[in-house]
Amino acid sequence: MQPAFLTRPWLDAVREEFERYLADKISGMTGVSAELHQAMQYALLGGGKRLRACLMFAVGDAVGTAPAALMDAASAMEAMHAYSLVHDDLPCMDNDVLRRGKPTCHVKFGEATALLAGDALQTTAFQWVLESSLLADSIRLQQAAILAAAAGAQGMANGQAIDLTHVGRPMTLDQLKHMHARKTGDLILAAVRMASASRSGLSSQMQSGLEDYAKTLGLAYQVIDDILDVESTSEQLGKTSGKDALSNKPTMVSLMGLSEAKQLLANLRSTALKACERCGVDERHPMAILVDLITDRKS
Amino acid sequence: MQPAFLTRPWLDAVREEFERYLADKISGMTGVSAELHQAMQYALLGGGKRLRACLMFAVGDAVGTAPAALMDAASAMEAMHAYSLVHDDLPCMDNDVLRRGKPTCHVKFGEATALLAGDALQTTAFQWVLESSLLADSIRLQQAAILAAAAGAQGMANGQAIDLTHVGRPMTLDQLKHMHARKTGDLILAAVRMASASRSGLSSQMQSGLEDYAKTLGLAYQVIDDILDVESTSEQLGKTSGKDALSNKPTMVSLMGLSEAKQLLANLRSTALKACERCGVDERHPMAILVDLITDRKS
């Protein structure tokens, strides 16, 4: 299957279309109490980069699935991500007050409503995949299972738990990588897998290329996050910067050093671009453009 | 389809088998950090009555599905219920310290781990339905969608949100019933629907009988809860009693009066038993026995 060779404007257009789709989807939910509904919309529509959704559309394109067919699955992915941020920001977790340049959900709506909004966003994620009419039953079942495995006690939630366990305790580089693979990597991998699950019969080269692409990007995402935490202001990030250093949390930068972390990032970029080649897409394809967007991001 | 006419010992045996199944299932999860895993097990295996699971087995029997085929779906249902209790007990919600006669999850493991355990139990619920090998793909997809719709922003989480909105504010009886229908009724209804989804081609009499049975039991469950809150001690209940009156929360008893609430409960019991008849089961069937277990319960 020959993927379309598309450039950055395609990605921007798809993201804009998705943003409208997502806004309509969440605002169109009926039978939700006003306060809960507002908190869910605030958390979900707060101006995120939609990295995970864009990954799904880019990979979808590479395997021959149009963005329109992946709108619900991408909405689910972003709802799952939004839930994790709301709960991660709560006072008993990171106790953060700033997210995407705005007050965090619990600062705006109170802790109880933020807790519920996070809870409900997780459920909504599953609802959206499971109730979608855009893809066949068997594909949605697979996508929902991928999402559950990535978000749960063996994935994202486990990453958070590992993080908690190590507060104030040293961590090796391997332990740190393992924590991030669970905390952020698994959901990024799930985005790629959910998109590729929309097509059956992919070649083993394509499949392994997609897995490497996703895992490499997941790690790169964290490395750049840790670099930004050191090099950027809160204003640039839209969230509190320098927190990790202040709280003495181990990061890729603190364990490797800044220049080594930057070198690692460059290596990961090149590995991810090679994985794109194995997926049969060149450097103009959205999958490759996303590699640059992630490794060059400023916030 | 002629359901087996079985009695109380059948229900007890199935519940015991389920309890073992559930304990094996949660303890057998690999790749979960020790602290998170312990908190999840503590919350899930804390000696609950397994009412929702038993409802699934009883309804399964009535439609011709053996308990063995519903073990994963029932495990999912209990995981979903357990998550809701853990989060409901958190300091920012009900701030409760006692559950099933033991310290609540956050008292035992701290707030952050309890939050994560609740989050992960919700995800686990979906994982267990979606990954089950006990039922056909199409049935599991349906069951997961039923579970999501019942637990989310239009169901259980919405009930919690309505509850929050009305703290310290009066409520009409209709509003109270609506809140309980979301908070507890929807999950009970989902238990019945997930079990009946295991069979296709049910008669419309059976289908409407099952819906009435579930809705009636859901309300009865809350009425007896409110009666027990007035009439029992914390020791009898295994959770803090008299809390609603203390916090000036509207209950079925405070809005109707105690004797009227008891009369309503008697009426609901008789409605539920009539619904059993419409489902083709008599008073010796587990479905009918559960009506008595719920309306006569002491804790």
CA atoms lying within 13 Å on the CB side of residue A127: 20
What pLDDT score was predicted for residue A6? 45
- Asked whether the predicted pLDDT for residue A3 surpasses 50, the reply is no
Query: Which of B123, B129, B163 to mutate against chain A (most A CBs within 10 Å)?
Result: B123
pLDDT bucket at A7, cuts 50 / 70 / 90: low
- Asked whether the predicted pLDDT for residue A82 surpasses 70, the reply is yes
What pLDDT score was predicted for residue A232? 79
What pLDDT score was predicted for residue B234? 65
- Whether residue B3 lies inside any domain: the answer is no
How many folded domains does chain B comprise?
A: 1
On average, the pLDDT of chain A sits at: 92
| B87 Cβ under 8 Å from any chain A Cβ | yes
What pLDDT score was predicted for residue B4? 42
Residues B139/B197, Cβ–Cβ less than 8 Å: yes
Looking at the DSSP bridge assignments, the partners of residue A99 are A102
pLDDT bucket at A250, cuts 50 / 70 / 90: confident
- Asked whether the predicted pLDDT for residue B43 surpasses 50, the reply is yes
For B211-235, give one letter per residue: b (16+ CB within 10 A) or e: ebbbbbbbbbbbbbbbbbbbebeee
| A27 Cβ under 8 Å from any chain B Cβ | no
- Residue A123: list chain B partners with CB under 8 A: 122, 148, 151-153, 157
Greater model confidence, A268 or A235 = A268
pLDDT bucket at B1, cuts 50 / 70 / 90: very low
- Asked whether the predicted pLDDT for residue B6 surpasses 90, the reply is no
- Whether residue B210 lies inside any domain: the answer is yes
The three-point CA angle B22-B26-B29 to 5° equals 140
- Asked whether the predicted pLDDT for residue A1 surpasses 50, the reply is no
- Asked whether the predicted pLDDT for residue A12 surpasses 80, the reply is yes
3-class SS at B99?
strand
- Give pairs for B198-207: CB < 8 Å, separation 24+: B198/B60, B198/B63, B198/B65, B198/B69, B198/B70, B198/B73, B198/B135, B198/B139, B198/B143, B199/B1, B199/B63, B199/B64, B199/B65, B202/B63, B205/B278, B206/B62, B206/B63, B206/B278, B206/B279, B206/B280
Tell me the per-residue pLDDT of B200-237, one tens digit each, with 9 for 90 and over: 999 999 999 999 999 999 999 999 999 998 887 766 66
**Euclidean distance between CA atoms A228 and A220, whole angstroms:** 12
What pLDDT score was predicted for residue A2? 36
What is the mean predicted confidence (pLDDT) over A262-290?
Answer: 96
Percentage, residues of chain A above pLDDT 90: 82
What pLDDT score was predicted for residue A237? 65
pLDDT bucket at A246, cuts 50 / 70 / 90: low
Q: CB under 8 Å to B253, separation ≥6 — which residues?
A: B226, B227, B229, B230, B261
Asked if B140's CB is within 8 angstroms of A138's CB, the reply is no
Tell me the per-residue pLDDT of A142-182, one tens digit each, with 9 for 90 and over: 999 999 999 999 999 999 999 999 888 889 999 999 999 99
Tell me the per-residue pLDDT of B263-284, one tens digit each, with 9 for 90 and over: 999 999 999 999 999 999 999 9
Q: CB under 8 Å to B199, separation ≥6 — which residues?
A: B1, B63, B64, B65
C-alpha distances (whole Å) from A118 to each of A113, A175, A177, A189, B120 are 9, 27, 26, 21, 12
Asked if A40's CB is within 8 angstroms of B153's CB, the reply is yes
pLDDT bucket at B298, cuts 50 / 70 / 90: confident
Greater model confidence, B165 or B1 = B165
- Whether residue B36 lies inside any domain: the answer is yes
What pLDDT score was predicted for residue A245? 65
Q: CB under 8 Å to B76, separation ≥6 — which residues?
A: B124, B125, B126, B128, B129, B143, B147
- Whether residue A138 lies inside any domain: the answer is yes
Residues A240/A228, Cβ–Cβ less than 8 Å: no
ipTM over 0.90: yes
Measured between CB atoms, which of A113, A118, A131 is closest to B164? A113
- Residue B37: list chain A partners with CB under 8 A: 153
What is the mean predicted confidence (pLDDT) over A121-139?
Answer: 97
Looking at the DSSP bridge assignments, the partners of residue B99 are B102
| DSSP summary character for residue B10 | H
| DSSP summary character for residue A67 | G
On average, the pLDDT of chain B sits at: 92
Q: CB under 8 Å to B118, separation ≥6 — which residues?
A: A119, B43, B83, B84, B86, B87, B90, B105
Greater model confidence, B243 or B108 = B108
- Whether residue A210 lies inside any domain: the answer is yes
For A132-168, give one letter per residue: b (16+ CB within 10 A) or e: bebbeeebbbbbbbbbbbbbbbbbbbbbbbbbbebee
Residues B99/B46, Cβ–Cβ less than 8 Å: yes
Residues A17/A67, Cβ–Cβ less than 8 Å: yes
**Euclidean distance between CA atoms A267 and A251, whole angstroms:** 18
What pLDDT score was predicted for residue B129? 98
Count of C-beta atoms within a 10 Å radius of residue B268: 23
Asked if B165's CB is within 8 angstroms of A90's CB, the reply is no
**Euclidean distance between CA atoms A123 and A53, whole angstroms:** 18
What pLDDT score was predicted for residue B193? 98
- Whether residue A111 lies inside any domain: the answer is yes
**Cα distance from B90 to chain A (closest Cα, Å)?**
9
Among A80-94, A115-129, A235-249, B53-67, which is the least confidently predicted range? A235-249
Tell me the CATH number at A29.
1.10.600.10
Tell me the per-residue pLDDT of B72-120, one tens digit each, with 9 for 90 and over: 999 999 999 999 999 999 999 999 999 988 999 999 999 999 999 999 9
Residues B62/B285, Cβ–Cβ less than 8 Å: yes
What pLDDT score was predicted for residue B231? 86
What pLDDT score was predicted for residue A5? 41
Written as six digits, the tokens of A141 are: 């079942």
Tell me the per-residue pLDDT of A56-73, one tens digit each, with 9 for 90 and over: 999 999 999 999 999 999
Chain A residues 147-176 within an 8 A CB cutoff of chain B: 148-149, 151-154, 157-158, 160-162, 164-165
- Whether residue B183 lies inside any domain: the answer is yes
**DSSP H or E stretch at residue B186:** helix B186-196
3-class SS at A49?
coil
What pLDDT score was predicted for residue B14? 96
Q: How many CB pairs under 8 A join A and B?
A: 155
**Euclidean distance between CA atoms B155 and B162, whole angstroms:** 11
What pLDDT score was predicted for residue B227? 93
Count of C-beta atoms within a 10 Å radius of residue B136: 10
- Whether residue A1 lies inside any domain: the answer is no
Q: By residue range, what is the domain housing residue B148?
A: 8-295
Residues B134/B72, Cβ–Cβ less than 8 Å: yes
| B29 Cβ under 8 Å from any chain A Cβ | yes
Written as six digits, the tokens of A247 are: 């709280």
